[in-house]
Structure 1
Amino acid sequence: MASGLSFSSKSRLVNLTLTQRSRRAIILMLVSTLLTGVCGLRLAQLQIIQGQYNRQRAEQNRIALIPIPSDRGNILDRNGKLLAANRLSRSVYLRPREQSKEEWKQTAERLSPILKIPAGEILDKLQQAGYRSAMPVRISRNLALNAFITLAENASHFPGLEIRGESSRYYPNGKIAAHVLGYLSEATEADMKAHPDYPLGMLVGQMGIERLADRKLQGTWGGQLVEVDATGREVNDLGLKPPISGESVILTLDLDLQKTAERALGNRRGAVVVLDVKTGAILALASSPTFDPNLFTRRISKADWERLQTQENPFLNRALQGYPPGSTFKVVTAMAGMQSGKFSPNSALMTYAAINLGGHLFHEHGNSGYGVLGFRDALAFSSNTFFYQVGLSTGPEAIAQWSHQLGIGTTDLGLSGGSHGIVPTPAEKEKLFKEPWYGGDTVSMSIGQGLVQATPLELAVTYAAIANGGWRVKPHLLRSQTNEADTRPKKIGVNPAALSVIRDGLTAVVQEGTARRLNDGSIPLTAGKTGTAEVLGQRDNSLFAGFGPVAKPQIALAVVVENGGYGAEAAVPIAHEIYKTYFKKTSKR
């Protein structure tokens, strides 16, 4: 028998080998066909289905827009006087792609002492833009003259640095109305996320009107269209997209009244609000201490910031913060008492040196009682025991209700950092403080102490309602809002006889009571109420709220001086200065 494989065995082996090779070939052909198909499909997708989209992206990569800031709109007072404007300044820009990351570290160290900006801050802005970006990045605004000269003389040492002329914000009156106007700063990371259309370096309003009317004021940035190559280098100028300036905003403020209010406050902590009793237009809104918004038109220095911190919270708008209103609140208790039906405008009560409530004595305004008083004289002499009795009989719920009707706890300007007053009911006290309501709470509430708080703005609104015949005005700062549907006064439905007796009492305060200084003949007869609010461990706060002239009320005002003592001591003289300025202006019309 022959050894090895037979012919038939060899034939089968050859066939098996051929079959395996065929399978491999078929598999390779299938894989090749599949890959070719995938590539074809992808090519079809890119060129046919997504062709327009990809052409747009390629165009966007080829064309770059170098941002050009728009001029911000002016802010004017009611008479057209400038409160915020623009002026020419110089800004420093860096083009990230002109140097490597390591080179920029050295350049930043050299620029830091010239621009008075930490090197790390410069590098952070470059990092944010990207070191291969062709877009210039603004790193400094309002370049000082000495820094400009230094950079100009050493331009060759700073490749990629460019100095541009552009407008910057300017507040011609310095600190005047700073809390109303606010200030500008570069958009934060949160701002950029909220507004993806903002270009890098966008300036946005911070607090005040600058923030409230930011969209209207900011305008639309323009840009220089340039063609760039694959490395980001400019190869062709394609034209200019001009910026669109922002719109001007006219406020209800009267610059002269605002200046008077701030000058009268001086450096004392406190606030002043003046408003039109018919429309609610705010004529002055001052808060002290304050700040100069011009500081923020450039990078604020460490020294400037430290000086600001030596003051007691200069950014707090005290005109929109709650204070114990003291005796200025007695008009609310009087209104609630008469509107409740438990007292009439002719009601009279015996007053005492003190009243005993649960073994605790609540004392009169003076050393002894005033005898029998009606509402008119109780306001004129500011009798505490009279209003204790009215409050206890009327009840805290009714007092809270009428405080809200008159504007306390419900008035809002829409400015950041503001708050409402509070006049809690027993149920609200238990919810807020987890404590029951006591009779002493009602007694304290009746004279504007204890848990009661009202903002100076709310006090002005309350006294405006008394002056104008029972209409709660909606305070506002934009002149365009005056007499619009959402700012029209609302009738609060008060008894005319109750209003009349309260107005008589407030007039008596000026004629024969604690605000007699206002009755010196230099101004028409006005009406109002002083307040002295206790502050634990400190001197009392001084308050005054009123309106004038009595014959035909035009303005209402509220003044608070922290730790100023008696209302007649600090607040009334400020009100006097405001009245003098206002009536002097109106006499010339």
Structure 2
Amino acid sequence: MASNYTFKTGSGLFDKAAIENATLRRSRLYRAILLMLIVTGLLGMPVFRLAQLQIVQGEYNRQRAENNRIRLFPVASTRGQILDRNGKTLAASRLSRSVYLWPKEKSAKEWQTTATLLSSILKIPQNEIIKKLEKIGYKSAIPVRISQDINVATFLSLSEQADNLQGMEIRSESSRNYPNNELAGHVLGYIGEASLEQIKANPKYPMGMVVGQMGVERIANSTLEGVWGNRLIEVNAKGEELEELGVISPTAGKPVKLTLDLEMQKTAEKYLGERLGAVVALDVKTGAVLALASWPNFDPNIFTRKVTKKEWDRLQGEDKPFLNRALQGYPAGSTFKIVTSTAGMQSGKFTPDSTLFSSASITIGGISFNEHGAGYGTIGFRDALAYSSNTFFYQVGMAAGPEQMSKWGRELGIGGSINLKLLGLDGANHGQIPTPAQKQKMYGEDWYVGDTVTMAIGQGLVLVTPLELAVMVSTVANGGWRVQPHLLVSQTNEAKPIKTAIAPETLDVIRQGLIDVVLKGTGRGMNDGSIPLSGGKTGTVEIPGHPDNSMYVGFAPADKPEVAIAVIVEGGGFGAVSAAPVAHEVFKTYFQKKGFKPKN
């Protein structure tokens, strides 16, 4: 109960009861006014919203309703198969489900909410979904694909949330499939959605167009891709199809046949194993690539969907799985003695019958260069190749000179004489056999006598690719025709071998020397009777600070050569120990298919 009393302030007297009564009346008045405003606002909102929808946004919503009823969307074509030389499947297509969004069916703000929900189901970052919508534009009447090849669990999760995902469509379409997984990954390459640059360069491409991004998928894309079609359909408010109003059927891509032999490729990859290196097998007459393996490799199937972080991290690892080692330069080691032999005889400094004394070491320019052992006495080119005599080839290299070794190396296929554009594979490089002038230009250094000596045995500045080595040994085996390596069967007629200027007698003595390698020299393990007699050359390459690389080149049969092989095993040691056995198994697969019966 309020007490009646007065109190005095500096400005006068105040009645406390009167003050309390006035305050109560004002409070009731304020509450009444606030209630009236709230009621008026609530009654007015539907009228305002109706006016906004009918007057302000009327045209927009009429157009939106029409667009929701009629849809025009592209229909993907089935990509053509990639086949090996015998018609076996290397890449094909299979049925899969993809997720599409219709940008025009929602506002940018609404898509933010939808993208958050989709992100949790598809495991795709929300901003990635938004970027795809923004790229095509929110007013676009063309759908945009945000996920490919979804699994059953994801499909069910999306179906359960269908009421909250208006503007989304799950569509059946073909997806790329590589049935052999990693096999020939560097050759086949992979596919992916066309970039904006690719779409600008090809106006016929719809958004979401899948194109080859690497390897044969890229090289033969125009043949494989086919032509997309279109469907015009009527749908209800839920996006369910009511009627097909028109259709332009897609045209399937055409198959592409490769020169690869699936069984030889499998053997090459199996016996190379998980060792850094490469294997190349060529038809010695045409240059058709029968096998091309590189390890580590990758599985092209991962690019038919979103690549996981773990997969991407592996692809970016220090072993560089994307790197095609068959097309990278390595020190040649003793396989280069084929070039030195050619240069020695073609320069006129030696004849096929010339002999030199090979000792335990030889001193040149005051520096001692060693042989493998005590030396082989007086020998000619055949025995020098068979036993891989260093001191013999030091003398040949010094007499012929670096310019001659560079010249005849190019004739044999090393250092830029192969048409890599015809092959078409990504990241391909030429080797190098630099002359003194080129060394000065490349490194700004003078040429020393030691450069010539080390070049003669394939060390120092010399670099060769396994592909070039296969071409080199093919040229010797086929009588002096430098083949042009290629992967498409359709290229065989245009990939004409080039006749070199190497004399037949030079080729004969080198070829016989390579056969002697197998009969009595460093490659005797190749002569076990399970394959026809072959010719070859081992190589053990010193890599400062690392284990020696193992190399082998060869051709078979010895009398009528058909196939040439080059193998590199990084850190594999002696050529006869690591690389030659891989070549042996690839030869065996080839000749088993030809019906060869082992002699043991």
Q: TM-score, length-normalised on structure 1? A: 0.86
Aligned-partner Cα distance in 1 for 2:246–2:511: 68
What is aligned with 2:99?
92
Q: How does 1:117-156 map to 2 (within 5 A)?
A: 117-156=124-163
What is aligned with 1:46?
none
Structure 1 SS opposite 2:594 = helix
Map Cα deviations across residues 180-235 of structure 1 (whole Å, 9 max, x no partner): 0000111123322333332111111122100111111111111124699xxxxx99
What is aligned with 1:82?
89
Structure 2 SS opposite 1:587 = coil
> Which ranges of 4 or more aligned residues in structure 1 deviate by more than 3 Å?
62-65, 225-228, 234-238, 307-311
Aligned-partner Cα distance in 1 for 2:499–2:72: 55
Aligned-partner Cα distance in 1 for 2:550–2:441: 31
Structure 2 SS opposite 1:569 = coil
What is aligned with 1:445?
455
What is aligned with 1:380?
386
Map Cα deviations across residues 258-314 of structure 1 (whole Å, 9 max, x no partner): 000000011100000001111111100000000110011101111222344456100
Is the counterpart of residue 297 in structure 1 residue 304 in structure 2?
Answer: yes
What is aligned with 2:560?
552
Does the aligned pair in 1 maintain the 2:531–2:596 contact within 8 Å?
A: no
Alignment partner for residue 253 of structure 1, among 250, 260, 265?
A: 260
What is aligned with 2:190?
183
CA drift of 1:173 comes to 0.5
- C-alpha RMSD over aligned residues: 2.1
Map Cα deviations across residues 376-401 of structure 1 (whole Å, 9 max, x no partner): 00001101111111111111111111
What is aligned with 2:503?
495
Is the counterpart of residue 514 in structure 1 residue 522 in structure 2?
Answer: yes
Alignment partner for residue 417 of structure 1, among 407, 413, 427?
A: 427
Structure 1 counterpart of 2:440, one-letter code: E
What is aligned with 1:480?
490
Q: How does 1:564-575 map to 2 (within 5 A)?
A: 564-575=572-583
Does the aligned pair in 2 maintain the 1:534–1:541 contact within 8 Å?
A: yes
CA drift of 1:65 comes to 4.5
CA drift of 1:356 comes to 1.8
CA drift of 1:450 comes to 0.7
Identity of aligned residues (%): 60
Structure 2 SS opposite 1:567 = coil
Structure 1 SS opposite 2:146 = strand
What is aligned with 2:475?
465
What is aligned with 1:334?
341
Does the aligned pair in 1 maintain the 2:315–2:322 contact within 8 Å?
A: no
Aligned-partner Cα distance in 1 for 2:313–2:130: 25
Does the aligned pair in 1 maintain the 2:475–2:483 contact within 8 Å?
A: yes
Cα distance change, pair 106–272 in 1 and its aligned pair in 2 (3 A): same
What is aligned with 2:593?
585
Unaligned ranges ≥5, structure 2: 1-68, 236-240
Is the counterpart of residue 434 in structure 1 residue 444 in structure 2?
Answer: yes
Aligned-partner Cα distance in 2 for 1:343–1:479: 41
Aligned-partner Cα distance in 1 for 2:350–2:314: 54
Structure 2 counterpart of 1:377, one-letter code: D
CA drift of 1:64 comes to 7.5
Does the aligned pair in 2 maintain the 1:289–1:311 contact within 8 Å?
A: no
Structure 1 SS opposite 2:175 = strand
Unaligned ranges ≥5, structure 1: 1-61, 229-233
Structure 2 counterpart of 1:414, one-letter code: G
Aligned-partner Cα distance in 1 for 2:505–2:138: 75
Alignment partner for residue 179 of structure 2, among 172, 181, 188?
A: 172
Cα distance change, pair 422–64 in 1 and its aligned pair in 2 (3 A): farther
Q: TM-score, length-normalised on structure 2? A: 0.84
Aligned-partner Cα distance in 1 for 2:192–2:170: 20
Does the aligned pair in 2 maintain the 1:207–1:416 contact within 8 Å?
A: yes
Structure 2 SS opposite 1:185 = strand
Is the counterpart of residue 275 in structure 1 residue 285 in structure 2?
Answer: no
Aligned-partner Cα distance in 2 for 1:287–1:334: 29
Aligned-partner Cα distance in 2 for 1:304–1:496: 52
Map Cα deviations across residues 432-483 of structure 1 (whole Å, 9 max, x no partner): 111111111111111111111111011001100111111111111001111x
What is aligned with 2:199?
192
